[in-house]
Structure 1
Amino acid sequence: MTELSAHHVGVTVADLEQAVEFYQDTLGFPVENEFSISGEAFETAVDVEDATGRFAHLDAGGVRVELVEYGPEGEPQTTSSVNCPGAKHLGFSVDDVDSLYESLEGDVEMLSEPQTTETGSRILFVRDPEGNLVELLETS
């Protein structure tokens, strides 16, 4: 059997520039590269007629985050709670969740202040500009 390894975690966004700004400026992930894709092979692979994609790859410290803006844009997926089947979130380790919390701009939507779970981990959930959940995790 062919061995698999992780390549990226992908998030579809409506506004690529705004999403890149959040992940780069707010979370500090540098952009590795940006590119566009179109053509018959891409349309067939993603099963979307006349599909185009604008991509940005960001380095999240060992995990590549792929942000992609598709044309034509489909219907938004609006699962807003983490406990809904099919919900997704991105999780990132942080050395000091409280310091990060204090540094976040007022326009970053947070589900709550940082919390300490029964395992001793400190967690904070925020939403990116597209409403996607992002977990910031400090383990003990």
Structure 2
Amino acid sequence: MPEAIDAIESVHHIGMSVASLQAALDFWEGFLGSPARWTTVLDHPYLSRVVGYPGIAIKAAFVDLPGGGVIELLDYQAVERNTNDDATANPGNVHLCLKVSDARAAWQRAVSCGARPISPDGPVAIDGGPNIGAQAAYLRIHDGITLELFQTPSKAATS
């Protein structure tokens, strides 16, 4: 196994390409209960070199996550875009997992903000593996993105 690289410090942000910046903000601001840190149009020449689209303009927003971390919402303008299949089994599909203190309450809030639950009954108790005693739920949010809510097991459940 190769050695770890000392230059990597931490995750800076998680980027999500979206069909509508406003629709994505409606979900995240409603779910998290706070406004985006900033919204802007990114159109500086360097950006074309970074993302590989000449003359690109991207409507963008940064949304702070509780406990640290940032979601960067990116609405690419004036380029052809295709919707990804939201099947979690497809190679290349990723999901965002948020650690929550109350999976049921977070699930209900996400659903009230427009998320579509995978399990209609809410969070599922994990009864095997390294997370036994935890609860988890997958939900589809804007653009077919999968949001996982994960509540760690209580000390009583693991002893």
Whether the TM-score (by the shorter chain) exceeds 0.5 is yes
Q: Could you list the per-position Cα deviations for residues 110-134 of structure 1 after superposition, in whole angstroms to 9, with x for gaps in the alignment?
A: 1012111122211111111211000
Residue matched to 1:117:
126
For 2:17 and 2:79, locate their aligned partners in 1 and report how far apart those are by CA, in whole Å.
Answer: 10
Residue matched to 1:76:
82
Deviates more, 1:80-89 or 1:105-114: 105-114
For 2:50 and 2:113, locate their aligned partners in 1 and report how far apart those are by CA, in whole Å.
Answer: 40
The structure in which a higher percent of residues are helix is 2
For 1:3 and 1:26, locate their aligned partners in 2 and report how far apart those are by CA, in whole Å.
Answer: 30
Q: Which of the residues 19, 41, 49 maps onto 1:44? A: 49
- Is the contact between residue 16 and residue 72 of structure 2 (CA under 8 Å) also seen in structure 1? yes
Q: Aligned in 2, Cα 1:50/1:124: closer, same or farther, shift over 3 Å?
A: same
- Is the contact between residue 117 and residue 138 of structure 2 (CA under 8 Å) also seen in structure 1? yes
For 2:141 and 2:76, locate their aligned partners in 1 and report how far apart those are by CA, in whole Å.
Answer: 18
Across the two proteins, how many residue pairs are aligned to each other?
Answer: 140
Residue 29 of structure 1: how far off its partner (Å): 5.0
For 1:82 and 1:28, locate their aligned partners in 2 and report how far apart those are by CA, in whole Å.
Answer: 27
The structure in which a higher percent of residues are strand is 1
Question: Alpha carbon RMSD of aligned pairs, Å?
Answer: 1.9
Secondary structure of residue in 2 paired with 1:18: helix
Residue matched to 2:156:
none
Q: Identity across aligned pairs (percent)? A: 24
Secondary structure of residue in 1 paired with 2:142: coil
Higher-Rg member (1/2): 2
Q: How does 1:82-97 map to 2 (within 5 A)?
A: 82-97=88-103
Q: Which of the residues 5, 19, 22 maps onto 1:17? A: 22
Paired residue type of 1:133: T
Residue 3 of structure 1: how far off its partner (Å): 4.0
Q: Which ranges of structure 1 fall in alignment gaps of 5 or more residues?
A: none
Paired residue type of 1:13: V
For 1:109 and 1:2, locate their aligned partners in 2 and report how far apart those are by CA, in whole Å.
Answer: 39
Q: Could you list the per-position Cα deviations for residues 27-76 of structure 1 after superposition, in whole angstroms to 9, with x for gaps in the alignment?
A: 43541111221132211211012211111111112110110111124332
Q: Which of the residues 117, 128, 140 maps onto 1:127? A: 140
Secondary structure of residue in 2 paired with 1:98: helix
Q: Which ranges of structure 2 fall in alignment gaps of 5 or more residues?
A: 1-5, 154-159
